[in-house]
Amino acid sequence: MKALVTGANGFVGSHLVDALVARGDDVTCIVRPTSDLTWLDTQSVAIVHGDVTNADALAAAVAGVDVVFHLAAMLRGRDYAAYYRVNAEGARNVAQACRRSADGPPRLVYCSSQAAAGPSVDGRRRTEGDAPAPVSDYGRSKLEGERAVAEVAEGAFPHVALRPPAVYGPRDTDILIYFRMISRGIAPFVGDGRQAFDLMYVADLVSAFLMVATNPDAVGSVYYVNDDAEHTWRSMAADIGRVLGRRALPLPIPLPAIAVVARVAEFAAAARGVAPVIHRQKVTEFRQAAWQCDSSRIREELGFKSEYDVEHGMRETARWYRDQGWL
């Protein structure tokens, strides 16, 4: 199989590239000229410099491939316009490049996000049949990306979207911060720590990508994916503490305090012309009772099965962090 991966140098993208190369697939990675290629074996893949906002670069990269995995996205933006340009218009550009491919359109696998759908509905897990209700600019832009792909692809070429939750594993720098805090004996969490959410180990998400890339029953669908387990801030802290062999002191952080920090962070980021790491929309996400989805559809229709429970996944993540000297 000839595959093109956008966002190939990122956390999830680099793991997907590794899996494709291991299978013997012919892989092309489209990356910006300034991208950090640390996690890419550049001897095993073709590197094309481009950007999802550049239609010409995409057209050349898509030519002759069987599957396009579109993972490139803006995770932190200064405003909705910035998110929209990359996450929505970027997805439209990729879809149009697929549709116009002179060698025949490839299948397009779009990495959306649970944020595109929004938090749980009425205390139950969200399903694909629920109307999306994103609560952040990031989520809204990813939903627009889904819609752009479906609109461009309709009747012209096969496409499928996955909505993963929070993903963790080797190379992830976000959950690393939490590992480091717990290794030092502190386990901070939001509010009372009982907010429920979904998790997924990166290798399982990669397996889902590979499954929908070739399964004919996946075409035209949107799927939730997760590890099919229950998680809260408290339980995640306990899970990480267990694999680290460290009992950490719980440190509840009240939401009003986080809201104050978010306002200050926004002000400081605006003064520097950068995107804030913590902001008021993140506080809105924290205020939701639960971020849980029902992944039974992909399991029943395609036979997907997550291979890593949280203990296995966290243990592998901790081992990798230690091997790299990150922990």
Of 83, 93, 79, which Cα lies nearest the Cα of 6?
93
Determine the Cα–Cα distance for residues 4 and 17; give it in Å rounded to an integer.
Answer: 9
The answer to whether the Cα torsion of 17, 126, 275, 169 is positive or negative is negative
Cα Rg of the chain (Å, integer) = 19
Residue 126's beta-bridge partner residues?
293
91 alpha-carbon distance from chain centroid: 14
**Which amino acids are annotated catalytic?**
138
Of 4, 115, 168, which Cα lies nearest the Cα of 177?
168
Residue 53's beta-bridge partner residues?
none
110 alpha-carbon distance from chain centroid: 11
